[in-house]
Amino acid sequence: MKDMSETATNRMIVAGCFENLFVRHDFDAAKAALHPDFVTHSPGLPSGRDAFADAVRNSPLAGAPARIRHVVAEDDLVVVHLHVAGTAVVDIVRVEDGLIAEHWDVKQPVSG
């Protein structure tokens, strides 16, 4: 297990990026937290820092209100649970050298 300060730093990096992506819609600030060789395993989203940020910026959910519900970190992995436009999303990301390097997600419709 890595030291707690590195885990806390990873949590802050990811929480800030997701806040910028989904709450503030500041895609340039979010992109700065992504590794140049960023890889996503989410179907329909492209890998690569610029391609991923542009895809999120141009998605139908880009302007939708969002709320980050939970952020949990252990070592280099951070899990984010958020609600956006009637959808619950759980993202898992891996942080490398202070940047988000890898991403997985699961989405589920929610009512109310």
pLDDT of the chain, 112 residues: tens digit per residue: 566 799 999 999 999 999 999 999 999 999 999 999 999 999 989 999 999 999 989 988 788 899 999 999 999 999 999 999 889 999 999 999 999 999 999 999 998 6
Which pLDDT value is given to residue 3? 67
- Largest Cα–Cα distance in the chain? 39
Sorted by where each starts, the structural domains of the chain and their CATH numbers stand as 4-109 (3.10.450.50)
Distance separating alpha carbons of residues 8 and 22, to the nearest angstrom: 21
For residue 73, count CB atoms less than 10 angstroms from its CB and return exposed for 0-12, middle for 13-18, buried for 19 or more. buried
Distance separating alpha carbons of residues 70 and 79, to the nearest angstrom: 8
Model pTM above 0.75: yes
Which pLDDT value is given to residue 61? 78
* 3-state SS class at 45: coil
Distance separating alpha carbons of residues 11 and 83, to the nearest angstrom: 18
